[in-house]
Structures are given as C-alpha cells and as structure tokens.
Amino acid sequence: MKLQVLVLAGDGIGGEVTREAVRVLRHVAGKWNHTLTLTEGLLGAVAIHKTGTPLPDETARLAEAADATLMGAVGLPEFDNAPPDKRPERGLLGLRQKLGVYANLRPVRAYPSLLGSSPLKNDRVEGTDMIIVRELTGGIYYGTPRGISGSGAEERAVNTMTYSRPEIERVTRMAFHLAGGRRKKVTSIDKSNVLENSQLWRRVVIETAREFPAIELEHMLVDNCAMQLVLNPRRFDVVLTENMFGDILSDEGAVLAGSIGMLPSASIGDRKPSGAWVGLYEPVHGSAPDIAGQNKANPLGAVGSVAAMLEYSFGLKDEAAAVNSAIERVLQSGKVTADLQPRGKPATTDEVGEAICAAIG
Ligand code: IPM
Ligand code: MG
C-alpha cells in the first residue's frame, strides 16, 4: 500500500516525539512492505517564526494532499500574551477546520503495568477502558461573535458557543458506530441544566440515537462527569461531548491512565472517495517547553497516534495492533520515560522509540 504522510512536528517536544513516531511508522512500512512517502511542514510557533503565520498556506495544501497528517504539539510561552489569532494554537485549530476533522477520538486505557503511575488508587482505575469522542470543529472554539472590545470599566470579552443540528448529528453517529464495536454504551456529556446549547445537544443526541437501537444511551452533566471520572472511571465506554468539555475531560482522563504523555488521538472527518478517513493524528499532550530538547519526553502518545493512523486512515488493522501490542510490552518491560516513574533509570525518548521497533520485530 502507498502511505503518504505529512509530518508537522510543531513546537517544544513535538519534534522529539514525532521523530520516534516516524521511526515506528518507517519500521512498520518496512516490515509489511508498504511504500511510505513522508513530507514535512510547518505549524505553530515554528511556522510563525519562519513565515509570520501559524498555519502557512503551504501547510494547509500539503495536509489536504496527504493521506494522513501526524502532528506533534503546538504552543510556546513567548506567545502567552498574544491575542488568540496570533497564537501557535490558532494554526492547529485552522488545520482541524480546513481538514474538516470533526470527531476527535481519545482512548483512555489503564494499562496494568502503569497502575502504579495513576494518581488514583489501583482498585479504582484498574480495568478502565473508555474512548472520549470530542466534537472538534465547532462550539465555543470557533463561534462568533468573539473578541475583546472597549477599555477601562467598559472593557468586555465575548465568546460564543454555537452548534447546528448537523454538527451534532455527525459526531453522534461517529460515537455510536464506535460503541457498536465496543461495550455498546454511549454517555453524552452536556450542561443542559444551564445552557441552551446543551439542550439542543441533548435533544439531537436522543433523536440520532434512535438509528442505533442496540446501543445504550445515557446523559450526564459535565461537572458530574468530571467527578465520575475519578470516582468510577470503569463505568464509561464511549463518552460523547462537545469541543471544550472534551478538551477539559480528556486531560483528566489522560492522567488516570498514568500520564498525559500516553494518550494518543485521532481526529477524523468524512471518508474520502478511496474509503479512507481524512485524518489528523496528534498526541493529547502539549508542547511541554520545560522539557523540550532534553530527550526525555514520552513518545508513546505520538506512537499510539501512529497506530490510530494505520487503523483509521489506512485500514491496516494488523499493523495497528502490532504497534499497540508493542506499546504494552515496552510498558511491561519498564523501559519508560521519567513521567511514568520507572523503578530504574528512566529511558530516553529515542530509547523508547527503539524499544517499540524492537518489540514489533
Ligand atoms: C488539545 C489541545 C488544543 C485544544 C490546543 C493546543 C489548541 O489542548 O488538543 O487538547 O484545545 O484543542
Ligand atoms: Mg487539550
């Protein structure tokens, strides 16, 4: 198979973790005889520095042409006080919108070998296996009007949380399809006791769910969900939610699994004529500038994102399973980075990447 992949390393530890993810991708391509073509592009702060904009046209063009895009991380502290449209993050948001990747899949699993790294007691977190389906191209991240106006006591800021019926329907269908291949339960998260936006969300989810009579649907308010994630994470199978709630809940979910460095994500949109999903693959963690360039970032979120790419964009289930099982075996071997608190000396970013390739064989 021909695999055309665009790599956007981005900022901070993005370069280090994508380097290891690419190492694994090359290894898989070699082993299964796929022809891998890699291109590189600029996104985020590095793109601002080199071109003046966080999402250069060239990057958008390359991403639309590629079969799949692998992203590292975006964001640097020097932009902390910049307005949202001048920040590195805007590049990522623009790319998600351009590609139309409206569903962001974030699997949260408690690996047995990582139970000790979870902040929760082992008996609480053990057996956790959920996937957060976060709406990714709508809601308050994109709604208008937005902005800051006025000055002095008159200064005010506005953001708008907006969803249309079709936007809710398509991500709901994605969640229910996924639930069909899992434990057949969807928990839809909203704040319908306060927000009209959430009232529409809940109503459309209920109506769309009728297309999937075999799947159980429940609703939960977002504040309660934040609590249930730490009280009883095992109760969740597929968690369906809007953009900002999903952003917040997925960081919480990530750390249940031991470290945010572990969490991969797949952002997918509609299918291309070839049948492949349009896909942007990105670890959930940020650019972690405090540890950038030190070869100590955990590359497993990025490596897991490669597994997701193989599965969703290329339909290569065996290859994806081989990567995921290599992750499990490397975790068991204890060759892990410092964030996972290994008993012995922590492994470096590239040692973990090499260990994954060796485990794939
Ligand atoms: C994420 C990140 C991004 C988001 C930032 C970097 C814009 O936090 O993917 O979770 O908020 O979506
Ligand atoms: Mg986030």
77-135 residue pLDDT tens: 999 999 888 899 999 999 999 999 999 999 999 988 888 888 899 999 999 999 999 99
Q: Which atom of ligand 1 is nearest to the CA of 282?
A: 9
Residue ranges per structural domain of the chain = 1-106+259-361, 119-257
At 12, which amino acid appears? Answer: G
Evaluate whether the domain defined by 119-257 bears CATH number 3.40.718.10: yes
Q: Which atom of ligand 1 is nearest to the CA of 104?
A: 9
The 10s digit of each residue's pLDDT in 36-57 is: 999 999 999 999 999 999 999 9
- Give the span between the Cα atoms of 29 and 37, in whole angstroms: 10
Q: For residue 248, report the distance from its CA to the centre of ligand 2, in Å.
A: 6
Q: With contact defined as beta carbons under 8 Å apart, do 279 and 69 qualify?
A: yes
At 73, which amino acid appears? Answer: A
* Element housing 30 (H / E): helix 14-32
Q: With contact defined as beta carbons under 8 Å apart, do 104 and 267 qualify?
A: yes
pLDDT of 279: 94
Evaluate whether the domain defined by 1-106+259-361 bears CATH number 3.40.718.10: yes
Q: For residue 284, report the distance from its CA to the centre of ligand 2, in Å.
A: 6
Q: For residue 85, report the distance from its CA to the centre of ligand 2, in Å.
A: 17
- Give the span between the Cα atoms of 107 and 105, in whole angstroms: 6
Q: Is there a catalytic annotation at residue 123? A: no
- Judged on CB neighbours under 10 Å (0-12, 13-18, 19+), 100 is middle
Asked whether residue 318 carries a pLDDT value surpassing 90, the answer given is yes
Q: Is there a catalytic annotation at residue 11? A: no
pLDDT of 255: 86
Nearest CA to ligand 1 atom 8: 247
Name the packing angle between helices 165-180 and 196-209 (round to 10°).
50
CA distances (Å), origin 106, targets 188, 247, 257: 15, 10, 12
Active-site residue (options: 141, 163, 281, 312):
141
pLDDT of 85: 85
The two three-digit tokens of residue 95, written as one number: 């790319």
Indicate the length of the chain as a whole number. 361
Q: Is there a catalytic annotation at residue 163? A: no
* Domain 1-106+259-361 identical in fold to domain 119-257: yes
Q: Which atom of ligand 1 is nearest to the CA of 74?
A: 6
Q: Is there a catalytic annotation at residue 50? A: no
Q: For residue 247, report the distance from its CA to the centre of ligand 1, in Å.
A: 6
Q: Is there a catalytic annotation at residue 191? A: yes
